[in-house]
């Protein structure tokens, strides 16, 4: 509605018929004397003024009446102060499985803060750790504490950080072992190796984006097993893929099942680029791998130097859509040469574990120890062959 119409409602214009003389008056006005039309005009003007004044008074009374109606109990638009309905707390649903798991792990997950000194200034990093033992051993990702000059950890509910020492680190497997001066900690429980299945419900716990307060809890399923990815530090194999949200700061935190058992250590997420998209694709180092590396880290912490296994081959990726890695070179007198492996052979598996690309074979050989004999399944001229190679230590 326009401003003109709104004004016309508050101040209605005089009705034209009320201001005009009747037909009889129009016909007789020409024969009457001059004073008579002036009296009629004066009377009409007075009537118009009173009509306008009355319209204003009537409008004000009507508005005032409406104000009174809005405050009356009979008004349909009455504003009340009825209380907000709040649950009595009776017959509430039982606590969810996720809530129980989060509560169980609350004292076994810590936030890790690091100080890194570089040539062009220092920086700080944040990650997550899992309490491994009651006497202060904590497990996290190696990339969380890489190049750190200072490491501190803080438990949920505490205000002060605790100084941590890096006992050992394995960048190739992206795991590191820390130690704080403490006793009586609540150690996390790790799942039985081989117990994780595709489709299992899982929960990721960690200090995502270093947000204030307690850890972030997200849930999802195990989307795939035995994934292999390449990172800045090398290749990671035997990974669990999950759609549980994992963000920066989650690194080193646990992926747990609905029993509250750690099934993996969260380590990376897939990111889209100009040619591909990625959504809810995160990776965790499987408990099968974690338990092996933890023992290696403890030996390293006690002074035992660990050497990577060495096979002695060059590799290339398959570009025909097939599985495996292509042998492009075999060093003379290397374990591969002595085992009978040839150029153009396609490596399909090592010790029964499928090899998906170059990174998978590199990681499988690296994780084996010098002196260990591994079974290598080869595709040669359409035939599957198995060879045994005894690895040696990689020379620097």
Query: Which residues are paired to 90 by β-bridges?
Result: none
Instruction: List the alpha helices (DSSP H) in 262-303.
Output: 287-301
**251: annotated active-site residue:** yes
**Cα dihedral: 350, 351, 356, 357 (round 10):** -20
SS3 state of residue 95: coil
Between CA 355 and CA 364, with CA 360 as vertex, the angle to 5 degrees is 95
| Nearest residue to 311 (alpha-carbon basis) of 362, 355, 380 | 362
**Rg over CA atoms, the chain:** 41
Q: Residues 108, 113, 169, 174: which is the catalytic one?
A: 174
Question: What are the b/e assignments for 341-365, b being 16+ CB within 10 Å?
Answer: beeebbbbbbeebebbbbbbbbbbb
| Nearest residue to 254 (alpha-carbon basis) of 295, 294, 280, 287 | 287
Question: What are the b/e assignments for 369-394, b being 16+ CB within 10 Å?
Answer: eeeeebebbbbeeeeeeebebebbee
**135: annotated active-site residue:** no
Q: Residues 251, 284, 286, 334: which is the catalytic one?
A: 251
Report how far apart, in Å, the C-alpha atoms of 235 and of each of 71, 96, 269, 396 are.
75, 37, 14, 18
Return d(Cα 247, Cα 268) in angstroms, integer.
8
Q: Residues 108, 143, 238, 286: which is the catalytic one?
A: 143
Q: CB of 155 within 8 A of CB of 136? A: no
**143: annotated active-site residue:** yes
Half-sphere exposure of 143 (CA within 13 A, CB side): 18
Q: How far apart are the first and last CA of the chain?
A: 86
Strands (E), 232-281: 234-242, 254-257, 262-269
Return d(Cα 343, Cα 329) in angstroms, integer.
6
Active site residues: 143, 174, 251
């Amino acid at each position: 509605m326009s401003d003109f119409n709104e004004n016309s409602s508050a101040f209605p214009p005089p009705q034209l018929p009320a201001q005009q003389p009747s037909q009889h008056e129009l016909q007789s006005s020409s024969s009457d004397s001059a004073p008579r039309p002036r009296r009629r005009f004066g009377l009409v003007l007075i009537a118009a003024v009173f009509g306008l004044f009355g319209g204003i008074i009537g409008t004000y009374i009507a508005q005032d009446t409406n104000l009174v109606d809005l405050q009356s109990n009979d008004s349909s638009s009455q504003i009340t102060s009825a209380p907000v309905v709040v649950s009595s707390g009776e017959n509430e649903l039982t606590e969810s499985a996720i809530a129980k798991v989060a509560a169980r792990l609350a004292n076994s997950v810590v936030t890790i803060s690091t100080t890194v000194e570089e040539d062009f200034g220092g920086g700080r990093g944040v990650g997550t750790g899992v309490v491994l033992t009651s006497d202060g051993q904590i497990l996290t990702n190696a990339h969380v504490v890489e190049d750190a000059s200072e490491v501190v950890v803080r438990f949920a509910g505490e205000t002060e950080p605790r100084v941590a020492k890096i006992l050992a680190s394995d960048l190739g497997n992206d795991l590191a072992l820390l130690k704080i001066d403490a006793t009586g900690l609540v150690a996390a429980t790790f799942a039985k190796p081989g117990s994780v299945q595709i489709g299992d419900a899982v929960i990721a716990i960690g200090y995502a984006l270093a947000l204030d307060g307690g850890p972030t809890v997200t849930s999802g399923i195990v989307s795939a097993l035995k994934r292999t990815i390449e990172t800045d530090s090398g290749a990671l194999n035997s990974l669990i893929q999950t759609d549980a949200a994992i963000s920066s700061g989650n690194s080193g935190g646990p992926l747990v099942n609905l029993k509250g058992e750690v099934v993996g250590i969260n380590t990376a997420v897939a990111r889209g680029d100009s040619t591909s998209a990625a959504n809810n694709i995160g990776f965790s180092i499987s408990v099968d791998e974690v338990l092996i590396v933890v023992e290696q880290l403890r030996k390293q912490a006690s002074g035992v130097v660990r050497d990577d296994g060495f096979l002695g081959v060059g590799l290339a990726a398959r570009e025909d859509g097939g599985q495996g890695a292509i042998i492009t070179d075999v060093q003379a007198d290397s374990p591969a040469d002595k085992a009978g492996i040839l150029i153009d052979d396609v490596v399909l598996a090592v010790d029964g574990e499928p090899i998906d690309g170059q990174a998978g074979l590199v990681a499988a050989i690296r994780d084996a120890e010098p002196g260990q004999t591994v079974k290598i399944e080869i595709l040669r001229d359409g035939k599957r062959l198995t060879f045994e190679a005894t690895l040696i230590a990689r020379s620097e």
